[in-house]
Amino acid sequence: MVTRPDRAIGPETRKGVAMPGNVHPVTDEREALLSYLAQQRYVLRLAAHGLDDDQARATPTPSPLCVGGLIKHLTSVERFWMDVVLERVGGAGSEPADGSESHEDSFRLGPDESLAGALEEYAAAALETEEVVASIADLGWPVQIPHEVPWFPKDVDAWSLRWVLLHLIEETARHAGHADIIREAIDGATAFPLMAAVESWPANPWIKPWAAKSLETTSRT
Secondary structure string (H, E, C) spanning the chain: CCCCCCCCCCCCCCCCCCCCCCCCCCCCHHHHHHHHHHHHHHHHHHHHCCCCHHHHHCCCCCCCCCHHHHHHHHHHHHHHHHHHHCCCCCCCCCCCCCCCCCCHHHHCCCCCCCHHHHHHHHHHHHHHHHHHHHCCCCCCCEEECCCCCCCCCCCCCEEEHHHHHHHHHHHHHHHHHHHHHHHHHHHCCCHHHHHHHHCCCCCECCECCCCCCCHHHHHHC
In a domain, residue 10? The reply is no
In a domain, residue 63? The reply is yes
Contact 47/66 with Cβ under 8 angstroms?
A: no
From 186, 192, 190, 194, select the one nearest 211 (Cα to Cα). Answer: 194
Do 202 and 114 share a structural domain?
no
Using the predicted structure, report yes or no on whether residue 63 has a pLDDT greater than 50: yes
In a domain, residue 119? The reply is yes
Do 212 and 176 share a structural domain?
no
- Higher pLDDT, residue 13 or 107: 107
Do 203 and 156 share a structural domain?
no
Do 201 and 183 share a structural domain?
no
Do 214 and 124 share a structural domain?
no
Do 126 and 197 share a structural domain?
no
In a domain, residue 7? The reply is no
Q: What is the CATH number of the domain that holds 165?
A: 1.20.120.450
In this predicted model, what pLDDT tens digit does every residue of 151-178 receive, in sequence order?
899 999 999 999 999 999 999 999 999 9
In a domain, residue 66? The reply is yes
Q: How many domains does the chain have?
A: 2
At 105, the pLDDT band (50, 70, 90 cuts) reads confident
Do 125 and 95 share a structural domain?
yes
Do 181 and 194 share a structural domain?
no
Phi, psi of 195 (to 5 degrees): -60, -40
Using the predicted structure, report yes or no on whether residue 206 has a pLDDT greater than 80: yes
Do 160 and 116 share a structural domain?
yes
Q: In whole numbers, what is the pLDDT of the chain averaged over residues?
A: 86
Do 179 and 204 share a structural domain?
no
At 130, the pLDDT band (50, 70, 90 cuts) reads very high
Interatomic CA distance for residues 35 and 22, integer angstroms: 10
Alpha-carbon torsion angle 35, 36, 37, 41, nearest 10: 100
**Domain span at 141:** 29-189
In this predicted model, what pLDDT tens digit does every residue of 184-204 receive, in sequence order?
999 999 999 999 999 999 988
Residue type, 182: I
Q: Specify the pLDDT at position 94.
A: 55
Is the pTM of the predicted complex or chain greater than 0.75? yes
Do 130 and 75 share a structural domain?
yes
In a domain, residue 208? The reply is yes
Contact 123/143 with Cβ under 8 angstroms?
A: no
Interatomic CA distance for residues 30 and 33, integer angstroms: 5
In a domain, residue 111? The reply is yes
Rounded to 5 degrees, what angle do the CA atoms 132, 135, 139 make? 85
In a domain, residue 64? The reply is yes
Do 203 and 94 share a structural domain?
no
